[in-house]
Amino acid sequence: MKNKFLLCFFLFLPIFIYSLEPPENPKNVIKAKKLIEKNCSSCHTNQSSEIPSLEDLSLWSEEALYFSMDSGKMKPMSTNLSKEEKKLIARTISNVNTSDLKDTPEICNNKLNEVDLLTGSDWTGWGNGAFNKRKQDNTSINSNNVTKLKLKWSFALEGGNSRSQPIIIGDLLLIPSSRTLYALDKRTGCQYWKFSFDSYISNSLVYDEKEGFYAFAFDHDFLVYKIDLITGKRIWKKSLGKESEYDFATGSLSLDDSILIIPLSTVETAVAVNPAHPCCTSSGGVAAVNAKNGDLLWRHRVLPEAKRVGRVMPTFVKKYAPAGASVWNTPGIDKQSRSIFFGTGQSTQSPASEFSDAIIVLDLDTGQRKWATQTTSGDAHNVACEVPMNPNCPDEDGPDLDFGAGVIKEKNSKGEDVLLSGQKSGWIYSMNQDSGEIIWSTRVGRGGKLGGIHFGMATSKNLLFASNSDRYVASDESLYEWKPQPGLYALDIDTGEIKWAFKPDFICKRDNRQPLFGKGSCSDGFSAPPTVANDVIFVGSLNGQFYAVNSETGTKLWKYDTFKRYPDTVNKKPAVGGSIEAQGPVVSDSWVYTSSGYSINGHMTGNIFLAFSIE
């Protein structure tokens, strides 16, 4: 989902390969340092902000940093720089050696074939199914043997943020990293093939066995891909087309009944930090694509076209509304009722829309809205509100409590269909799938701009499991009638009653944890979504701990501290652990996978992907 605290470096870094020039002479080095001091240092050396430091950014390649300024999400802040100046800045900030950028993987000895894809259990997409339950029953892992889990291999990812959750088809593990898709053997980490996207990808691929041995992906340039799993070759690539230059792709795809459902979001929430920007015109949305040929079936814009609603004083810049309501999460699909369900983000300009901070259900065949239930009204916010006296801050100024977590379809004990949603406010809701009527609501945390319920939940056996972050943000003060309640919570699906709460046993201040790389900070909450495997829940924390918890009692069964250096990755690149955020664990057969490291929002940088097994 979104990350709105990067005032100068927001959800950036699609990779673009351009010809590297020879090393700079001393004069160019001096020039680059002056350019960095003038254009970057005020934001990226501010220790009180949530922005990645220059040291954090040095983990990225020159190509990534250059593209972010030239064509990516830093473009609005780099308009005064020439291409040569951008290249100088990127080359100076990045300290990643060219030899480190080259993958030197262990190549698999055997050739991948269809039998390998039919072996074992799959994890087919972000939520492992169209209902977003994040549940794996086809696994040998349970509460009796989970203590046998051992780290078997590790893989170094590009950059300092783990955004793209892998999928698994049989023995094949597909993990996106920047603009590259790696096809690895799930047992050894050896590489079968790799595929290059045209742009950066920060979401999960999706697979459906009914569609054959193909996976589907969606990148930041709004390109949709169909990829052959045996060969790694592209079957087709289609452009979805951007309605606005600020359209963005961060939520993951869903697939059912030969229809790809794609969530659409916007980075205008960050671009609005520029007081000269006419805020705001872009809207979140959902698109449906034919999985057979990539043709667009329909496109639903959450908000109607924005109209001028006045001028911002004292700059006299025009302002527009309604805007915002991004779809940051992975939509669910219910083909029985021919419905799609998802949550929306806050508005980005006043007046706030009735469709922001809402759960929405669409008709699967037409994209027409069936119903919408808003849980927080009057919520208009953008990053300008984090900068004192910035005129682009909406009149309502927050509280910025949108839905970033995927909505889950489940049945209660009576067999009735309900939709379960968690909000950054710390509230969890059960709604009637047909009408949107709220059945129950339960608050598990204080909430805030970084959650509350941030990235996801999971379900199993009439229990709903929710990760609660409750990370401190200074501008959330009005929400603080509660003290922080970070932890993993289990709720009764029928009533919303809290059955148990698992609290972190590692406390940042008490245990004095400092990042291994960069200038981020340690937090104690749970923001990444949990995953259920039989009677075990796997969940990672912002301080780098990776837990296995008993789903019935909430007791800790096993823990691994990902916060360390990893000198022996299978692709022979340096890696460290950090905060576990954004993407959740993935389980297949006797294997569990997670990543560690996330510098966005001031968390602890890292770039490691870890594979555990009880074998």
Whether the CB-CB separation of 302 and 327 falls below 8 Å is answered with yes
Residue 615 — pLDDT band, cuts 50, 70, 90? confident
Task: Check residue 26 and give its pLDDT.
Answer: 66
Which tens digit of pLDDT belongs to each residue from 523-554? Answer: 999 999 999 999 999 999 999 999 999 999 99
> Which pLDDT score, from 0 to 100, does residue 34 have?
78
Q: What span, in angstroms and rounded, lies between the C-alpha atoms of 473 and 399?
A: 12
> Whole-angstrom Cα distance, residue 270 to residue 7?
6
Other residues' Cβ atoms within 10 Å of the Cβ of residue 561: 13
Contact 42, 51 (CB under 8 A): no
Q: Which two tokens stand for residue 86?
A: 């951008």
Give the DSSP H/E element, type plus range, for residue 86: helix 83-93
Local confidence band at 399 (pLDDT 50, 70, 90 cut-offs): very high
Cα angle for residues 377, 378, 381 (degrees, 5° grid): 120
Report whether CATH 3.10.20.600 matches the domain 127-164+406-615.
no
Which pLDDT does position 46 carry in this prediction?
59
Q: Are strands 545-550 and 536-540 parallel, antiparallel or unpaired?
A: antiparallel
pLDDT at 576 over 70: yes
**CA-CA distance, 546 to 443, in Å (whole number)?**
25
Cβ–Cβ < 8 Å for 288, 298: yes
The pLDDT tens digits for 317-349 are 999 999 999 999 999 999 999 999 999 999 999
Six-digit token string for 409: 């379809």
The angle at the Cα of 32, spanning 27 to 34, to the nearest 5 degrees, equals: 100
Dist CA 377 CA 362 (whole Å): 21
- The tokens for 269 are 């929430």
| Residue ranges per structural domain of the chain | 26-101, 127-164+406-615
Q: Is 437 exposed, middle or buried (0-12, 13-18, 19+ CB in 10 A)?
A: exposed
Q: How far is CA 513 from the centre of its chain?
A: 24
DSSP labels for 427-481? EEEEEETTT--EEEEEE-S---TT-SS-S-EEEETTEEEEEE-----GGGGGGTT
8 A C-beta contact, residue 105 and residue 571: yes
Lookup: tokens for 324: 């915002």
Alpha-helical regions (H) of 178-312: 268-271
Cα gap 258→279, rounded to integer Å: 37
Q: Are 420 and 408 in contact (CB under 8 A)?
A: yes
Residue-wise pLDDT for 129-167, tens only, equals 999 999 999 999 999 999 999 999 999 998 777 889 999
Q: Are strands 223-228 and 234-239 parallel, antiparallel or unpaired?
A: antiparallel
Which residue in the block uniquely carries the two structure tokens 């814009």? Answer: 301
In DSSP terms, which residues pair with 173 in a beta bridge?
168, 184
Question: What pLDDT is attached to residue 99?
Answer: 44
CB 12 within 8 A of CB 600: no
pLDDT for 8-36, tens place per residue? 433 333 322 233 344 456 667 677 777 77
Q: What is the pLDDT of residue 480?
A: 82
What's the whole-number mean pLDDT along residues 421-438?
A: 98
The torsion angle over the Cα atoms of residues 430, 431, 433 and 435, rounded to 10 degrees, is 170
Residue 143 and residue 536 in contact, taking contact as beta carbons nearer than 8 Å: yes
Please give the average per-residue pLDDT across 43-68, as a whole number: 68
Cβ proximity of 179 and 14 under 8 Å: yes
Query: What mean pLDDT is reported for the chain?
Result: 90
d(C-alpha 557, C-alpha 549), whole Å: 5
Task: Write out pLDDT tens, residues 447-493.
Answer: 999 999 999 999 999 999 999 999 988 888 888 889 999 999 999 99
pLDDT reported for residue 78: 79
Give the pLDDT confidence of 360-380 residue by residue, as tens digits: 999 999 999 999 999 999 999
Exposed/middle/buried for residue 229 (C-beta within 10 Å: 0-12, 13-18, 19+): buried
What is the pLDDT, as a whole number, of residue 41?
Answer: 65
Which residues fall within 8 angstroms of residue 477, CB to CB, at 6 or more apart?
A: none
DSSP string, 489-522: EEEETTT--EEEEEPPS--HHHHT---SSSS---
In angstroms, the CA 360 to CA 355 distance is 8
The tokens describing 29, both together, are: 């080095």
Query: Which pLDDT belongs to residue 138?
Result: 96
**Contacts of residue 97, Cβ cutoff 8 Å, sequence gap at least 6:** none
Whether the predicted pLDDT of 48 surpasses 90: no
Q: Are 598 and 580 in contact (CB under 8 A)?
A: yes
Average pLDDT over residues 426-437: 97
Is the confidence at residue 350, as pLDDT, over 50? yes
**C-alpha distance from residue 379 to each of 280, 324, 425, 426 (Å):** 14, 10, 12, 15
Which of 492, 494, 337, 491 shows the shortest CA–CA distance to 412? 494
The torsion angle over the Cα atoms of residues 606, 608, 613 and 615, rounded to 10 degrees, is -130
For residues 467 and 453, give the distance between their C-alpha atoms in angstroms, rounded to a whole number: 6
Dihedral sign (CA 300, 6, 510, 606): positive
Q: What CA–CA distance (Å, rounded) separates 345 from 358? A: 8
Give the 3-state secondary structure of residue 100: helix
Q: Which of 53, 43, 52, 48 is nearest to 474 (CA)?
A: 48
Grade residue 178 by pLDDT with cuts at 50, 70 and 90. Answer: confident
Q: Which of 331, 200, 215 is CA-nearest to residue 267?
A: 200
Distance separating alpha carbons of residues 583 and 164, to the nearest angstrom:
7
Cβ–Cβ under 8 Å, residues 357 and 375: yes
d(CA 414, CA 432): 13
Specify the higher pLDDT residue, 29 or 115: 115
